[in-house]
Structure 1
């Protein structure tokens, strides 16, 4: 059966709108007067982890990659699927074979056509142990046939269940039906890759002078610690309907400084520092924004063999979680509309309402009393204080949360937590090697379904940095992939997490930003916050 929603048709029709939009004086649909300078100046906290679609692992880096590479499907402003390189797709009766029809006009920035074999190469590359992609597990999560065995080194990458029927037909075979498979193709790991460029330049292929892309923008300049400049890709199939000419992303590690520079007119968009939203909303009501965001904020316990013995005791983990007054953090520290978190899965996720845990029904006084009781039972107190180190990546927001957590634990439980901040890449490496006791974590949904969060804590997950492992939990999440009652299984899984507490959920994100009123097209209703530069534009003041 062919899948072609009205959304897809509308998007295809939109691509035929009057040519020459980029040079028009007004927007072809809204009639708004366009600014002469179509440069979007964006902010990022740190250098991106990579510009390689199969290697990038941070959300800001993925946004940059999304503007330079286009996958099979994109999303509209509401998060619905719309055509990308694929015009449409069909699914067999057993719903385990997907066939994508690629648009013939898609091409790389060097003029080569984008063909089905570019996706085959990229997907095989993503599961190849030689590349060791930090997102290899995502391909396994997609249930692509033989992905698990290839990642484990038990089969050659050529056995992956993806093949090019011809230049414009891509066939994907799954090990089992996965209802939300198509939504996962908006993720950067699934984007195509230019084989001959990668083979020529190796790890240097993403440098501005070497990179070849198939998206709306191409990397013009990258100065680590300073700026990333992306400019219009004239070879992009829909270039004539792209309005922005340039996306300039400035690296500013101090969020308060970023806010100062935004107010001085240097940025079109920034993330607001913790605690500043109320003041900014009062002073700049049309620019300060807080919208739901499909992300969670948590701290993860290292329960691996290298972790502290104390954290292997569930009573210690429960005590530390109970003693966290989440309302203080959301209302006094963050102040941006972030919901308190008592589940790992955010309420913003589609098709699943996270269950309310017993902790959520307690008063904070009751939680504190229970925390003291549990910690004493575990053998910790004034004569034997619990001590540990906790790490977070450099950010004023993360520092504020970490300081508050450590103070809560000290005042309520006599716990001594030593804080250490790290530069982003060092932090990722340290956390990934389990060289920590307690570490900050955050996860933004790779697709809008509860499994994008709950899969994270399964035994084989590549981002299960604390190495939590529970057979019953693993079986529930695996069964949910093909079960008709998946929400029931997710509820049972959340109950296990609430009992065993391998992580401490702190809050669920809100997108708290300052966005200049001149910048239009931002997808406020897309809870995944997948924005596309091709859909943004600036209006005349």
Structure 2
């Protein structure tokens, strides 16, 4: 899914403009467990002092003493939570993904893989049947059932959490009507056909639905009654063991369907201060300190770009947009800027850029502008709207310096605050405006749907019948190679139309102990499961 300006993870039409991320986005999560207090909220309390409702007792789960090299230590700066609806950071999401598992998961490269659902099928892309694996168990040994998903999603729809909007975003039938109070929860398009078959009904055909289901909002919740008071029943690779001071312990879930592939028997989440020496831990996925060794920049499904308003009589001309784009080098804009990101050639992330058969052509800017009746006495004039804080003024100034090399261009800079920027974009009150996009699932549709004429997030005013038909066909095409060919055609058209001014793709700094393996530094999903990690074999001394 994609979004308006958001913080860092997820997105959609219900998102907010994030000042820090400088892109259109929001963080989504949902589905509750039991009511449990935030972890790390009082590090002076030991696990035995925690209320029964807030933490699993050490009397219920005993952690074994294992060598330190067999323990994965993850550092976090956020307080952790056990109610998915309370998740507000990527660190909290990482923690929940260790404890719970949905219908599908990502592999280490960011591709969708079967999880609790071992397979799925559809005949019309509207009604989907997911078959759950019969060896998927909760941490108390009970089977994970279709009803565990159906009830969790219904409870989410009935909650007051804004995260429930994700159900409508993925077009579950009647979700929007239920959220607006126009339909009863019994009408929600989620149904347990039997113990191991879950039916998801959509209000429109979507061929890439499985790619959208790895979202943390869609994790199941235990609906059985066989649990001790205060015990958290989870179905992921790990289960909660306890908390001592600033460390939360997870132990391997012996009932996890793929437990034999889980390397670390224990995972410790340690609360970090900003100045904590991270060399004492194995992994920090939201690294905040100055640059140091063993820090890797992982790409994110987020790009930063400027949008042209095609309702402007001058910017409506493809040739003019081509001239403006040709004067900007995203590599030069990003170079020595201190940005955490990678220069991009278009508005989609690098992993979504298909090979193009478009041959490069030199652009003679002065000639193009003169043919459009612009001159030194009558230059092309436009406003560049951007946020007046953070990284935005630096980027805007670099853009203006590049365009100012031509006497046929006159730029008026319009710095505005965060709220004004959001309002101007929503109303179409701009000529060229700072923008961006983040995706909640790893599929090109999350970005290319911005070009669909009926998409409310299409603020450029671009409308082309061929593009609409290609996107509509892609939405109904199950075959990934065939769908990608349709996407490639859409991307080629958008390149030729010069609809966006691309700047960079966001990156996320991650600290990784050099002894770890089981990850791909090109994975753009921001998800690193503890279950996939292992320790590199120690070299034998001669």
- TM-score normalised according to structure 1 size: 0.62
Contact 1:104/1:168 (<8 A) preserved = no
Partner of 1:135: 166
C-alpha RMSD of matched pairs (Å) = 5.5
Q: CA deviation at 1:404?
A: 3.0
Per mean C-alpha deviation after superposition, the further-off stretch among 320-329 and 209-218 is 209-218
Partner of 2:328: 324
Q: CA deviation at 1:99?
A: 2.7
Q: Provide Cα deviations, 1:391-429, integer angstroms capped at 9, x if missing partner.
A: 3885x6x6654553344345554323344675xxx7997
Partner of 2:468: 474
Report the CA distance shift for 1:339/1:116 in structure 2 as closer, same or farther (over 3 A): same
Q: Which structure: larger Rg?
A: 2
Partner of 1:5: none
Report the CA distance shift for 1:384/1:499 in structure 2 as closer, same or farther (over 3 A): closer
Output aligned runs, 1:392-403, within 5 Å. Answer: 394=390, 401-403=395-397
Contact 1:477/1:490 (<8 A) preserved = yes
Contact 1:194/1:213 (<8 A) preserved = yes
Report the CA distance shift for 1:416/1:518 in structure 2 as closer, same or farther (over 3 A): farther
CA–CA distance in 2 between the matches of 1:75 and 1:249? 26
Q: Provide Cα deviations, 1:331-353, integer angstroms capped at 9, x if missing partner.
A: 554798935323x344524xx72
Report the CA distance shift for 1:160/1:320 in structure 2 as closer, same or farther (over 3 A): farther
Q: CA deviation at 1:493?
A: 2.0
Output aligned runs, 1:386-425, within 5 Å. Answer: 386-391=382-387, 394=390, 401-410=395-404, 412=406, 413-419=409-415
Q: CA deviation at 1:522?
A: 3.3
Please give the secondary structure, in 1, of the residue aligned with 2:446: helix
Contact 2:518/2:533 (<8 A) preserved = yes
Report the CA distance shift for 1:525/1:302 in structure 2 as closer, same or farther (over 3 A): closer
Partner of 2:150: 120
Please give the secondary structure, in 2, of the residue aligned with 1:482: coil
Contact 1:43/1:250 (<8 A) preserved = yes
CA–CA distance in 1 between the matches of 2:160 and 2:441? 24
Residue of 184, 189, 192 corresponding to 1:161: 189
Output aligned runs, 1:243-322, within 5 Å. Answer: 243-248=265-270, 268-269=283-284, 284=293, 287-289=294-296, 293=299, 295-301=301-307, 303=309, 318=322, 320-322=324-326
Does residue 81 of structure 2 align to residue 41 of structure 1?
Answer: no
CA–CA distance in 2 between the matches of 1:21 and 1:467? 58
Contact 1:300/1:466 (<8 A) preserved = no
Output aligned runs, 1:219-234, within 5 Å. Answer: 231-232=249-250
Q: CA deviation at 1:40?
A: 1.1
Output aligned runs, 1:205-216, within 5 Å. Answer: 215=236, 216=238
Please give the secondary structure, in 2, of the residue aligned with 1:99: strand
Query: Structure 2: any 5+ residue segments left out of the alignment?
Result: 1-60
Please give the secondary structure, in 2, of the residue aligned with 1:414: strand
Please give the secondary structure, in 2, of the residue aligned with 1:493: helix
Please give the secondary structure, in 1, of the residue aligned with 2:356: coil
Report the number of matched residues.
Answer: 458
Does residue 351 of structure 2 align to residue 348 of structure 1?
Answer: yes
Q: CA deviation at 1:34?
A: 0.8
Does residue 524 of structure 2 align to residue 493 of structure 1?
Answer: no
CA–CA distance in 2 between the matches of 1:312 and 1:58? 40
Q: CA deviation at 1:494?
A: 1.9
Structure richer in helix, relative to its length: 1
Contact 2:91/2:285 (<8 A) preserved = no
Residue of 427, 434, 447 corresponding to 1:439: 434
Query: Structure 1: any 5+ residue segments left out of the alignment?
Result: 1-19, 27-32, 198-208, 222-227, 253-257
Partner of 1:451: 445
CA–CA distance in 2 between the matches of 1:357 and 1:94? 34
Contact 2:109/2:519 (<8 A) preserved = no
Report the CA distance shift for 1:34/1:149 in structure 2 as closer, same or farther (over 3 A): same
Q: CA deviation at 1:480?
A: 1.1
Contact 2:121/2:128 (<8 A) preserved = yes
Contact 1:40/1:247 (<8 A) preserved = yes
Please give the secondary structure, in 2, of the residue aligned with 1:338: strand
Residue of 100, 103, 116 corresponding to 1:85: 116
Partner of 2:132: 101
CA–CA distance in 2 between the matches of 1:79 and 1:149? 33
